[in-house]
Structure 1
Amino acid sequence: MFIGLIMKTLNRMIILRELFSGSVGIHTFIILLMITSLNTASVVGEEFSQWNLPDKAKYRLGKGIIQKVLYSPNGEYIAVKSSIGIWIYDAHTGKTLKLFSDVHSKINLIEFSPDGSTLSYFDEFQYIHIIDTTTGKIVKSIPPYGNSITSVILSPDRNTIVTANSDYSITLWDVNTGVQITTFKGHIRTITSMVFNTDGKTLVTGSWDCSVRIWDITTGENRYTLRKHTNGVTQIHFHPNSNTFATVSNNIGNNRSKIYKWDIETGNYLGEASIPITTNATFSSDGRLIANADKRNLSLWDFQSEEKLFELTLHTKYISTFAFSPDGRTLVSGGHEELFLWDVMTGARKMSIPGHTSYLYGLAISPNNRIVATGGRDVIHLWDISTGEYKTTLYEFDEFNRAMAFSPDGQTLACDIGWSIRLWNHNQRVPIATLKGYLGNGASGYGIASIVYSPDGRYLASGSSDGTVQLWYSGRTLKGTLVGHSDGIYSIAFSPDCRYLVSGSRDNTVGFWDVENEELITTFKGHTDHVNSVAYNQKGNIVASGSKDNTVILWDVNTGKQIRQLFGHSSWVTSVAFSPDGETLASVGVTDNFIRLWDVFTGDPLPPLYGHYSRIDGISFTSDGRNFVSVSTDGTALVWDWTSINGIEEITIIPEDVNSDGVVDIQDLIYVASQFGKIGAENIADVNNDGVVDVTDIVLVAGAIMNTDSAPIGTSKSNYPLAIETVKTWLNQAQNTNNVSDKYRRGIAVLEQLLALLTPKETVLLPNYPNPFNPETWIPFQLAKPTDVSIQIYTSNGHLVRHIDLGYRPAGKYINRDVAIYWDGKNQAGEPVASGVYLCTMSAGEYTATRRMLIIK
């Protein structure tokens, strides 16, 4: 999907591993998949994030991992088999056209008939299906007959389907009757490639037994067995004249392959090509070109002259699949989330097709329930939870990006990078700090496994494989280390009141900690294997723990005793999460592709949620209780409609409640202000839907603050105080418009009231905080008028320790940490000061005031 890291112009690339490792002759793969009887979706009237969704899901984030690419026989379309289904693209524009999927079964190998009129595939239950690509109807289904199918192709006349089987045999089936015609036997290892010649009378097969066999379809005779290869045969390609063909074998020792040429009529060996290809290579349909991929490197060769034509660069991930267009002019290559089209004549990249995503491991939801962050290999994707739209990507070079958390103010995203924590300003897509508390501890193992912010934003905590929890002040100073577990920690969670923290460990216990005093209060014992996940309910009286012993335990926090143990998982429980109302618990296991739900009060299982195609690694509820999100190693995240699942009546949200928290207050004004001037549809800050966020939207939200479902202006709280000058500008613009509606006038009145509340009547230096629990502090103040501001910090005997010049500041209240004066507890030389009493003097124009501060380390 997101083709970033262009700075890494890593070598060439393009290949198709599937085409050579067990996937039999998939040369013209499924495309045009219009099959309505199974599940297709067209581009008309809907976004692909809502195509073919499982029941109760609202959006699918990402298109899944790219596994196979093929052109349609007419070259108009590209089919991409991903981990969730098959996507159809316009080969000329890259536009997403269709998705073919089956929520009940994975789609395995697929093969087009040479004219593209039918499609054959088999599912994970070993049924073979034939589909008419014009009508989208299944014209024939053939049930399993005993042996597992490993691959399938159609004869050129479309009357015969050929399957390679797990017992190394080849079976021919009559398409019209579904009856077996005959079975060919001879190979003694897995069949890796099957190809018909043009007239359909000859079938050539290759195997890991190092042999190539030529079969007469009419008589069933094994005409020739070619044994020149000394390693497994991975591919077979006919020259367009059908008189010669080439076979490719895998040289296991150095990942290099050999290409042998043969005469189809006599079986005679015609020579060896000297092109240094890997096991990942394919031919153009005219036999003129070979594309070869080695990890991230892709090259094009002329097969006759054996000359290298181009090296195609820009892939940053391993190339797993590629295919030539039927006319041989374009090459499509894919791997993980990258999908590129190349001009074969020039070697230039023609386009990239976005949307695919690789394995996902991490999950975090912003406090305002607007953004979902999903972590994968080297990337963190950000999505709009209300629309399912992709927002941006943060490139964090970590293998998993499993541990992530948003700060309570929503401005910072924390993620693990081995043994450190990276803090991101996700709005600007820039890292702002790296916390390295673990360095120097001699730590080893998997590193940081869990990161959480305390709900009040005061602390950031991380749990790691050294068995400790590290606590950080939000100002990024290390508070302390919680030591008590005898093995690594997998999961941590703060209590809702921020006083306590629980930790799940490989030592089979749950630790219960006093955060302020950094003390282990007690240990919850009951699991018989590693504790992989812990979670608090909203009331803070119950903790859930999921374990490698395949169970979930609910604990009474006040007594430390088990409330009940939940059985039903057949594998390790890897993640648990409480619904916001505390009535439901969600859990997933290491082998599960579905989500288990439990009644917290009875312990009874509830109907599970099905929709992913492989292991689920993360689950989380939005704090408003409207949505539930799951991320999977199938490369997608699903946003579930929790109100529908839980039978909750959907709350009507008025347009002015832009953050959808059920109340219109200053937070909504702040969000609209953050979007000020933005143009375009579908922006929730555009309250009046006129295509631009402007002062009219500000006034409408302000007017709604006085409505029934709103917070009174005097009691509305925010971590982002509005600047006086900003509100003055809004008022000036609003008063100069011609809108005389009651709603608009009411909004102006509210803005005037807000301006009065924001404007201090006097300049005051306020007491510092937090105090006395850490060596850093914030010093709040307010200004009755704009002026230059500075502070001086002295020891109790009058020695100057630090001078901080803030410069010019507008009138206003500088109360919260993001605007108050910050002192890191160091002197002018950058040295930490000692514990003790200090004096803080603020100078603001003619105003001077001094306050005492107690600093205790």
Structure 2
Amino acid sequence: MKITKFLLLIWLFASTLFCLNLFAQDYNRWQLPEGAKLRIGKGELNDIKFTPDGNRVAVATDIGIWIYDAHTRRELALLTGNTKRVTAIDFPTDGSFLVSCSLDRTVRLWNIDTGEQTAVFAGHRGSIGSIAVSPDGKTVVSGGTYDTTIILWDVATGNQIKRHSKYWDNLFRRLKIYLDRSITMPDSNAIEALAFSPDGKIFASGHRDGTLRLWEAQTGRKLSTVGDHKSTGIDGLAFSSDGKKLVSCTRTQEILLHTFQNGKHESRHFHYVPFPQDLVFSPDGNDLFGIGYLGGDTIGRQPYIHKWNVNTGGLLMSTPTPDTYQIKSLAISPDGSTLLSGGWGDTIVSWNPVTLEHSIFTTGHGTVGKTLQFSPDGKILNTISGKDKLKFLDTETGAEISAPQQKRYSTKQKSKTSQRRISAEYIKERTAIRIFDIETGTDMYHITGHKDIIWRYSFSPDRETLATTSKDMTIRLWEVSTGKELLMIPTYSSYTTAITFSPDGKTLAGGGVYDRAQKSLNLIRVWEVPGGRILKTIAGHTEGVNALRFSPDGRTLASCSGDGTILLWDWEEISQSDK
């Protein structure tokens, strides 16, 4: 009897571990695009915010908005609906909804308890890079990165309260930038940062030319223009909790503390750090945290988390981040006990604001790869991710695994062409391809038919056909033995940068194709070979497709994208579905 109970306990314990592991990986299948069976990576990170009660964390990424439990650090939900990158997010004081903005030109409201999208505001003519919601949740302000427009929205109705797109108070600054040939700055009025005051009466906008503007929140009327920054690109704005202080930083060199008393504006500098970004106050207003470098060899190589004393402007602490990639966002919990940082690296890092000691909050928000290769049995996918790190991924779970034991695999020579061991390389600054015999090194011929840079080439499995894709908006097929052009396929995009043949050589997939009906440059299209008939157009990535690869059995198509994900598509199912 005792043995039976003991065995039962062991079984229950093992079952629990299995279920926890299964749940941990289950998010890889949340909100998948049609035809996909697995997602690897959570999307590149753009913004982080705590809910006002501090119990959850929202993370804006290229594929949607992830919701985490702030205490267990477990994934709770993935909010999707945007067709492009989600650039910024914010909460009102009561946390009743989440507001987001995107490169798809929309502002969206979300219920994070249900995952429901409750409203969509459209009015920008270009991408939106910044968003802020008033503390009472009645007003949202959005700032255009390309259309230079500020729109004040009524949350209840979705109507525009005020719209600003032309600015005449910075003509001298804009002329100075124009005459300075060392500066290249498109759309100098673009809005880079937005922030509401804690009482909700005003909001601030930071612009690419270094201009700071204050606005009346109720009417959208401009109150004042602050031109104290000597450098360009205001990349961070934050009000203190009492509303008496506003900090702003420019992308290259300055952090300014602004105070407004008795109708007078004063500003002073904080201790200098190179390339400061994304400032946050501690809840008590005594400390300021930001991202930047230390100078010298650290610039562009090793980001730091910095901590300043607000009263003196002195730098208190600087600690290097675990990731050496650019950090994009900081967020501090309402009780001031936790600071989160995240960016183009793989991790979101949790910091102790007092000591700046850190731990890993979660992983999966970095770049995923620029090459793809299946193992012969299709169970492992390897990719070269950021900074040329080779990763091995389980194609069933998406989990990273240790490097498998190396094996040698022989391939049967199927044609006279492959027996000659022919290879290819880019020449003439990638505007042509040299085809040569590997054994002798002698040239056979050069492919010169493209009118612009050649992004990628791919041999068919039998080595009889070579496919090339170019910035000239075409994919072309070439007969390897002669160099004769067999087919030209229009892609309607200058950035179709990925191509691959299926194992049987009867289909060709291209990534980064444009489709007018879907208004997207991030599509995958599959053609019949050698005829060129379109078989399928696959949508799912929100950024460009970097690489494509079929599994050895031809049933799975893998795609990796600049959106920070690898998607595994069920090609067998997709190819049999209605066109």
TM-score (norm. length: structure 2):
0.78
Unaligned runs of 5+ in 2: 1-21, 171-188, 294-302, 515-520
Query: Taking structure 1 as reference, are residues 180 and 610 closer, same or farther at Cα in structure 2, changes over 3 Å only?
Result: closer
- 1:122 matched to 2:101? The reply is yes
User: Counterpart of 1:80?
Assistant: 59
Provide the rounded CA distance (Å) in 1 between the counterparts of 2:467 and 2:451: 15
Give the whole-Å Cα distance in 2 for the aligned partners of 1:207 and 1:522.
53
| Structure with bigger RCO (C-alpha 8 Å, 6+ apart) | 2
Residue 500 of structure 1 pairs with residue 421 of structure 2? yes
Q: Which residue of 2 aligns with 1:109?
A: 88
Change (3 A) 1:275 1:98: same
Query: Pick from 321, 324, 327: which aligns with 1:319?
Result: 327
Using the TM superposition, give the Cα deviation of residue 359 of structure 1 relative to its aligned residue in structure 2, in angstroms.
5.6
Letter in 1 for 2:411: P
Q: Deviations over 1:635-668 (max 9, x none)?
A: 22221112212339xxxxxxxxxxxxxxxxxxxx
1:64–1:495 Cα change, 3 Å: farther
Structure 1 residues 506, 549: closer, same or farther in 2, change over 3 A? farther
Note closer, same or farther for the CA distance 1:106–1:218 as it changes in structure 2 (3 Å cut). Answer: closer
Task: Quote the offset at 1:587 in angstroms.
Answer: 2.0
Aligned equivalents of 2:416 and 2:263: distance in 1? Answer: 75
Task: Determine which of 383, 391, 397 is the counterpart of 1:387.
Answer: 397
Q: What is residue 173 of structure 1 aligned with on the other side?
A: 153
1:614 aligned residue:
543
User: How many percent of aligned residue pairs carry the same amino acid?
Assistant: 30
> How many angstroms does 1:585 deviate by?
1.0
- 1:302 aligns to what? 309
Aligned pairs for 1:550-629 within 5 A? 550-557=473-480, 560-571=483-494, 573-589=496-512, 592-629=521-558
Counterpart of 2:529, as a letter, is V
CA RMSD of aligned residues (A): 3.5
Q: Secondary structure at the match of 1:625?
A: coil
Structure-1 residue corresponding to 2:139: 160
Within 5 Å, give how 1:226-305 maps onto structure 2: 226-232=226-232, 233-242=234-243, 244-250=244-250, 255-263=252-260, 266-269=262-265, 272-278=268-274, 279-280=276-277, 281-295=279-293, 296-305=303-312
Q: Where do residues 149-548 of structure 1 align in structure 2 (5 Å cutoff)?
A: 149-165=128-144, 170-183=150-163, 188=170, 189-208=189-208, 210-218=210-218, 222-232=222-232, 233-242=234-243, 244-250=244-250, 255-263=252-260, 266-269=262-265, 272-278=268-274, 279-280=276-277, 281-295=279-293, 296-306=303-313, 308-313=315-320, 314-336=322-344, 337-358=346-367, 360-378=369-387, 379-392=389-402, 410-411=406-407, 455=411, 497-507=418-428, 511-521=434-444, 526-548=449-471
Q: Residues 631 and 559 from structure 1, CA distance in 2 versus in 1: closer, same or farther, beyond 3 angstroms?
A: same
SS at match of 2:194: strand
Distance in 2 of aligned mates of 1:202 and 1:550: 48
Alignment check: 8 A CA contact 2:231 2:253 kept: no
Structure 1 residue 126, shift from structure 2 partner: 2.5
Alpha-carbon deviation of 1:283? Answer: 1.9
Q: Whole-Å Cα distance in 1 between the matches of residues 483 and 163 of structure 2?
A: 66
- Who is 2:574 aligned against? 645
| Structure 1 residue 69: Cα displacement | 1.9
Instruction: Tell whether the 8 Å contact from 2:558 to 2:566 is kept in structure 1 after alignment.
Output: yes
Letter in 1 for 2:456: S
Letter in 1 for 2:272: P
SS of 1:47 mapped into structure 2: helix
Does the Cα contact within 8 Å between 1:455 and 1:498 map onto a contact in 2? Answer: no
Q: Counterpart of 2:199 in structure 1: which amino acid?
A: D
In structure 2, the residue corresponding to 1:350 is in which secondary structure?
A: strand
Equivalent AA in structure 2 for residue 176 of structure 1: A
User: Which secondary structure state, in structure 2, belongs to the residue aligned with residue 639 of structure 1?
Assistant: strand
Counterpart contact for 1:63–1:635, Cα < 8 Å: yes
Q: Report the secondary structure of 2:370's partner residue.
A: strand
1:152·1:162 contact (CA, 8 Å) conserved in 2?
yes
Offset at 1:98?
A: 1.9
For the 8 Å contact 2:43–2:62, the answer to whether it is kept is: yes
Structure 1 spans left out of the alignment, 5+ residues: 1-42, 394-405, 413-452, 458-492, 649-857
Max radius of gyration: which structure? 1
Q: CA deviation at 1:498?
A: 4.6
Tell me if the contact between 1:504 and 1:545 (Cα under 8 Å) persists in the aligned partners. no
CA distance in 2, matches of 1:520, 1:224: 68
TM-score of the two chains, using structure 1 as the length reference:
0.54
- Could you tell me which residue of structure 2 aligns to residue 90 of structure 1? 69
Q: Aligned pair in 2 of structure 1 residues 273, 582: CA closer, same or farther (>3 Å)?
A: closer
Deviation of the 1:375 alpha carbon: 0.9
* Contact 1:575–1:587, Cα closer than 8 Å, also in 2: yes
Counterpart AA for 1:626? R
Closer, same or farther: CA 98–549 of 1 in aligned 2, 3 Å:
same
Moved more, 527-536 or 287-296: 527-536
SS in 2 for 1:275: coil
Q: How far apart are 1:383 and its partner, in Å?
A: 0.1
Residue 511 of structure 1 and its aligned partner are, at CA, apart by 4.7
The one-letter amino acid paired with 1:74 is D
